A and B are shown apart, each in its own frame.
Chain A
Amino acid sequence: MNSVLDFTATSHYYGQNMTGVAVIDYGMGNLRSVAKALEHVAGASTIEVTACAERIMQADRIVFPGQGAARDCMAELQRLGLDKVVREVVRTKPFLGICMGLQILLDCSEENDGVPGLGIFPGRVQRFPAQMRDSHTNDILKIPHMGWNQVRQTTAHPLWHGIAQDSRFYFVHSYYVNPADPMQTAATAQYGVDFVCAMAHNNVFAVQFHPEKSHDAGLVLLANFMRWNGKV
């Protein structure tokens, strides 16, 4: 498994060194692996894990990761005043949401008996149905959906550059997004149901899987993000 990192510049990328990437830290989950993977592909850019509104506003690009329960994530964002910051930067800077950092962008989640999200993407978040069965073996599918699954790219996007169709990425989640606008779907995957695993709109790209844990394909996606100017 050789590295397939491809640094070919295209019109979608800045040519020169960029400065800062802010990884938004709202106290949920393990941000170290996200920061480490970004550092691995960062070149001259700096990676800062931060909960400071000012630092986030100053950064050139934003990574919004997250794990855990939707209710806790929203509560922590609000407690730290970061919900307003996210609403601001999501309009203006190259923005990458990961896992809960995708789900929280939608209108609401059925997790914890209903949690409002940031409402940046219209649509809702729902749980995988219980008792789904594997179409080949007829075994009951486990929840969480955990492991390496294939990602079907449904739209051309600078962040898919150099990543083969149906490449496998690492997933771990029990809920998935159901966007209202099909034009915002960037990829789908299949686990009992077909579900949306990546969304894109203007300067925002958000994924259900974990690029920081997805070996070469994940590192390519992160490298693409580091060079993306936020245009499609």
Chain B
Amino acid sequence: MSLAKRIIPCLDVDRGRVVKGVKFVGIRDAGDPVEIARRYDQQGADELVFLDITASSDQRDTMIHIVEQIAAQVFIPFTVGGGIRSVADIRRMLNAGADKVAINTAAIQHPELVREAAARFGSQCIVLAIDAKRVHCANEDEQARWEVFTHGGRKNTGIDVVQWANQMTGQDGAGEILLTSMDRDGTRDGFDLALTRAVSEAVSVPVIASGGVGNLDHLADGVTLGKADAVLAASIFHFCEYTVAQAKQHMAERGIEIRN
């Protein structure tokens, strides 16, 4: 009897379609978000994450409409991120049926937004999204460190990832962290396990590992070596290489508690 580690398919949505970029460029079309959400739900996904990567704000209503449709058909928790800038944006997403919202760029620009939103809606529905990139040290003996990037990975803030994660979570902050390695995202080389572990061991809230999954062992490694509470993947599921059910079976074989 214990809490299951979660497997979370992630859907990047651009103008109403699911896409998946490789290192944030080279986009392939993968389908209708509502249809894909239903497929993952049937396969036993524990949660879903939708990241709205639509550049123009006049397309935002498209995402609201999609969230409403998903909420009426899928009865597992789901998170929506991308372009969330204010308490009003958060309220709109939650009212449309999202369970949690992920905040990245706006948290850097207005750190008080996270606390305000947590106080208003509860920590449980505020996810701090962090895009992390490894800083290459001149001295090899120096401990690895990572910095926070924003604007879909285009801007370096110079902020230390572990320190940022710590500062923005806890009783009156975000209730969960979605941690993406920009170095690994789209590479299929596996999670940045050192990054995942450093953050997970530094914070009291659950951490979702993201970026780099290419096979099922990567998912299991994220939990056993990276100490993640949940593992997120996109392309291995979208292009039907593996089903969520296969991922779960593999994790169970590796001795990880999962939900059947």
Contact = CB atoms under 8 A, between A and B. Distances in A.
B75 A147 contact: no
Given A32-B95, A36-B97, A170-B76, A146 B176 contact: yes
Interface in A185-232: 189-191, 210, 212-215, 218-219
A63 B25 CA distance: 46
Contacts of B6: 147-148
A92 interface: no
Contacts of B124: 67, 144, 146, 172-173
Contacts of A148: 3-4, 6, 46, 259
A129 B18 CA distance: 41
A213 B2 contact: no
B229 interface: yes
B4 A149 contact: yes
A30 B80 CA distance: 14
Interface string A126-159: 0000100011100111111111111010000000
**Band of interface residues on B:** 35 or more
B1 A215 contact: no
Nearest 3 CB-CB pairs, A to B? A68-B122, A148-B259, A172-B124
Interface in B70-90: 71-72, 75-77
A216 B92 CA distance: 27
Given A29-B122, A147-B229, A215-B76, A142 B206 contact: yes
B96 A32 contact: yes
25 contacts: A1-B43, A1-B44, A30-B95, A32-B96, A32-B97, A33-B97, A36-B71, A36-B75, A39-B72, A134-B2, A140-B204, A143-B204, A147-B229, A148-B259, A149-B1, A150-B1, A166-B1, A170-B76, A173-B124, A174-B123, A191-B2, A213-B75, A213-B76, A214-B75, A215-B75
Contact of A135 (B2, B119, B121): B2
A168 interface: yes
A91 interface: no
A69 interface: yes
A215 B125 CA distance: 19
B98 to A, nearest CB: 8
A118 interface: no
A37 interface: yes
A145 B176 CA distance: 11
B209 interface: no
